Structure 1
Amino acid sequence: MEALDHIVINTLTGIDTAAALFTALGFTLTPLGRHSLGSLNHLMVVEGAYLELVGVPVTGKQRADVLNSALGLNGFVLRSFDADATHAHLAAAGLSPADPVSFSRPVDLGGSMADAKFRTVRVPEDLFPAGRVYVCEHLTPALVWRPEWMTHPNRFTGFDSIGVASTEPAAAAAHYAALCRSERVERTGGWRILAEGIAIDISTGSVPAFTNCGLRFASLDVISANAQALDGVVWEEVACGHGTLRVPALDLTLDCRGTA
């Protein structure tokens, strides 16, 4: 079974506004990163994974696959410890992976700079049409998982699930199961595939899309209070210890669960 690496929220050219919003919601964001391929990002890091805000600069080099992707929840990324071995596995599984791509971004360490380096392997959009799906090998993980970035005022601790709408849910479930080296389990209304650190819930939809992401918090007290105090977000408590956070400007739905 493969492990989650990160989930991506595409802000297109609005990353500064999105970063201010997520900071106000109580997330700790890493300093703005500038990838060598022409994209920008902030991370919200937890043990073993992270939530990423990605975008492109208004002017200058713009990463095409980010610029041409949908706003909002747009990327599902698994961890790789060897991009070449992962590529071979994906090819053997019939998932037609692209060749590994190497890139980097400078990291501000508060007084010094270092280059975080990655290798990624993407799988094709026709098999995974909900958004950008790929695996990521971190060559410098210590530049991502740093203690000062892993404590969040809103007590964000991890991920529960990601929702996938598909016009062919059984086929989509088979593809995600192969990607994750896992099994697909049929449930009422769709399929579930388990990866380490997250569940993938696939349902029927008229348009392929990532529909929602489930986040885990030690408590919902801070995130709910912050959300209700902000313009531009909608907070709904759906049950004890469960709330839904919607950000219409990002076409984003986050299902929040408190574990306390």
Structure 2
Amino acid sequence: MDTLDHIVINTLMGMDAAASIFADLGFQLTARGYHSLGSINHLAMVPGSYLELVGVPASGKQRQEVLESPLGLSGLVFKSADSDATYYRLTAAGFAPQPPLSFSRPVEIDGETVEAKFRTVRLTGAEFPAGRVYFCEHLTPQYVWRDEWLVHDNGFVSIDEIVVESTDLDADAARYAALCGTTASVDGEARVVALPGLAIRLVAGERPRFAGATLGFTSLDVLKARASASPEVAWSDDGPGRATLGIASLDLTLTARVAG
């Protein structure tokens, strides 16, 4: 059964403003990364996965698939231990993945610049129209997951759920389940594909899209205080240990809950 690697929030050409919002909310962001493919990023790391802010630079090489993706939550990425094996497995299962793609970005660690290297296997928009769905093999995970990057002022500790709006719940749920090597269940009017540490919740919508994500925190106190002080963030209490954050400039809705 597959597991989450990370989720992607597309900032397009507004990375500076987006990174400022997330930093103000108490997320520790890694230093800006510059991918060899022509994109830029910041990561908010948790054990085993991360939230990625991605965008393109104002000039120079610009990654077309990022420019063509919608603003906001736009990517769901699973782990791959071997991208070649993942490609052949997905092909054998009837999917139409793109061949593995290699890229890198420099990272500064302890005053030394090293190269973080990746290989990805991407699925097509025809198969997964809600957004970019792909698998990522980390060739240098020691340059991505660092203990000092796992501590956030707001207590961010996990990515628990992604909500996918669908115009055909049963077909899309079956497709995500087959992709991840598991089955889908019915939860009221929703369909749920449960993975270790992550639920993919499919709900009816007017168009396919990634509609939101649920993040886990040790407490919501700091996050609420930070959100309440930000003109960019709308905060709504949803009951004990749960709240909704809206960031209009990123067309983004996040659910925050107390983990555990």
**How many residue pairs are counted as aligned between the two chains?**
260
Q: Which residue of 1 aligns with 2:236?
A: 236
Q: Which residue of 2 aligns with 1:81?
A: 81
- Where does 1:172-251 land on structure 2 (aligned, <5 Å)? 172-251=172-251
Note the residue ranges of structure 2 that are not aligned, 5 or more in a row. none
Deviation track 1:186-237 (CA, whole Å, cap 9, x = no partner) reads 2211200012221000011111100010000011011111000111110111
1:130 and 2:93 matched: no
Q: Which residue of 2 aligns with 1:95?
A: 95
Deviation track 1:44-72 (CA, whole Å, cap 9, x = no partner) reads 00000000000001111100000110000
Contact 1:104 1:116 in 2 (8 A): yes
1:52 and 2:49 matched: no
Q: Which residue of 2 aligns with 1:27?
A: 27
Q: Which residue of 2 aligns with 1:4?
A: 4
Deviation track 1:114-135 (CA, whole Å, cap 9, x = no partner) reads 1000000001111100000000
Contact 1:95 1:175 in 2 (8 A): no
Deviation track 1:101-120 (CA, whole Å, cap 9, x = no partner) reads 00000012252111000000
Query: Secondary structure of the residue that 1:179 maps to in structure 2?
Result: helix
Amino acid at match of 2:109: L
Query: Secondary structure of the residue that 1:133 maps to in structure 2?
Result: strand
Amino acid at match of 1:135: F
> Partners of 2:7 and 2:218 in 1: how far apart?
19
Q: Which residue of 2 aligns with 1:154?
A: 154
Note the residue ranges of structure 1 that are not aligned, 5 or more in a row. none
> Partners of 1:108 and 1:64 in 2: how far apart?
26
Q: Which residue of 2 aligns with 1:115?
A: 115
> Partners of 1:109 and 1:12 in 2: how far apart?
27
Deviation at 1:145, TM superposition (A): 0.3
Contact 1:159 1:215 in 2 (8 A): yes
Deviation track 1:126-184 (CA, whole Å, cap 9, x = no partner) reads 11000000000000000000011110010000011000011111111111001111111
> Partners of 1:142 and 1:179 in 2: how far apart?
27
Query: Secondary structure of the residue that 1:90 maps to in structure 2?
Result: helix
> Partners of 1:38 and 1:225 in 2: how far apart?
36
TM-score (norm 2): 0.98
> Partners of 1:254 and 1:221 in 2: how far apart?
16
> Partners of 1:211 and 1:251 in 2: how far apart?
9
Query: Secondary structure of the residue that 2:238 maps to in structure 1?
Result: strand
Q: Which residue of 2 aligns with 1:39?
A: 39
> Partners of 1:19 and 1:139 in 2: how far apart?
26
TM-score (norm 1): 0.98
* Structure 1 range deviating more: 127-136 or 103-112: 103-112
Query: Secondary structure of the residue that 2:203 maps to in structure 1?
Result: strand
Deviation track 1:22-81 (CA, whole Å, cap 9, x = no partner) reads 001000000000000000000000000000000001111100000110000000000000
1:163 and 2:163 matched: yes
* Structure 1 range deviating more: 3-12 or 188-197: 188-197
1:144 and 2:144 matched: yes
Amino acid at match of 1:102: S
